[in-house]
Amino acid sequence: MAEPIGFALVSDAPLDRAVIEGFVRTAADGAVVTFEGVIRDHDHGSGVSALDYEAHPDAEAFLREVCQSMAAESGLRVAAAHRIGHLVVGDIALIAAVAAPHRADAFAACAELVDRIKQGVPIWKRQHLDDGLSEWVGLA
């Protein structure tokens, strides 16, 4: 099995799924699970037109720590990239990928990775609603 690794990127440029998957995929893996967080057009009954993501200056270091920790604990190769800046409906805000010899391990690790990113990486979003108002999400 390939050595576990953790790759992380925070960028204002569009994210490339193939690049993220390329960091985790090896000949030993029978499963690559990728999660894409996509900007949707609604939240809690309100229409959403766009999101602005802002990050702490050390957000990439936090993301790297989450990925490296997940890789070390699971023994799997993991990678994640988070976009910042102004995103519109349909844009990809987060890509997380995990490779494993078997699908169950890859699915479980990818779900855990996304949860840890949402809980531990200081990136915040401001939703722009269809009615012209905006709101910060998850600051509490």
pTM (two decimals): 0.93
- Number of neighbours of residue 34 by Cβ within 10 angstroms: 17
Walk me through the domains of the chain, giving residue ranges and CATH numbers: 6-137 (3.90.1170.40)
Cα 92 to chain centroid distance, Å, stands at: 9
CA distance 25 to 32: 7
Question: For 24-66, what is each residue's pLDDT tens digit?
Answer: 999 999 999 999 999 999 998 889 999 999 999 999 999 999 9
Q: In the structure, how many helices (H) and strands (E) does the chain have?
A: 3, 9
Question: For 94-127, what is each residue's pLDDT tens digit?
Answer: 999 999 999 999 999 999 999 999 999 999 999 9
